[in-house]
Each structure stands twice: as C-alpha cells, then as structure tokens.
C-alpha cells in the first residue's frame, strides 16, 4: 500500500510578539506534531491554526505578515 503523505501547516504557531509558522510532511496530524516537537526538542503549548494540504498535486502556501 502506498503511503499517503500530506503537508501540515500551522499558522499562528507559538505566538509571542509575532505569529510563528510550522510545517511537517507526514501521514497524519499526530505524526506531524511529533516531528515538530522532536525538531524543537520540547513540547508545543500553542499550535495555532492547522491547514492540511494533499501532496498529490502541485501546491503553494504563504502567510502574509502585517505591521
């Protein structure tokens, strides 16, 4: 069976003075979160807003800043 990878994108990730952005390519949300926490070396307290994008087509994603 082929693996179904997706792009998981969190905007508003760990906001402080500005919002952060996090992403992972994984099979499901929990795996994506685990990959990000492993990369950070600590747990995440505020994930922000999640968007899940399939990887079977070309795609683009952006977050505009404001000031």
**How confident is residue 7, by pLDDT bands cut at 50, 70 and 90?**
very high
Give the separation between CA 29 and CA 42, rounded to whole angstroms.
17
For the chain, the structural domain boundaries read: 6-54
CB 43 within 8 A of CB 61: no
Cα 65 from chain centre: 17
pLDDT tens-place string over residues 24-48: 999 999 999 999 999 999 999 999 9
Measure CA 33 to chain center. 8
- Picking from 26, 66, 27, the residue whose alpha carbon sits closest to that of residue 36 is 26
pLDDT digits (tens, 9 = 90+) for 43-62: 999 999 999 998 887 888 88
What pLDDT is stored for residue 11 in this prediction? 93
Global confidence as pTM: 0.85
């Amino acid at each position: 069976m082929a693996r179904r990878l997706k792009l998981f994108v969190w905007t508003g990730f760990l906001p402080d003075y500005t919002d952060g952005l996090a992403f992972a390519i994984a099979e499901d949300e929990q795996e994506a979160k685990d990959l990000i926490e492993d990369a950070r070396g600590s747990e995440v307290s505020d994930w922000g807003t999640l968007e899940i994008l399939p990887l079977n087509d070309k795609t683009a994603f952006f977050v505009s800043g404001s000031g």
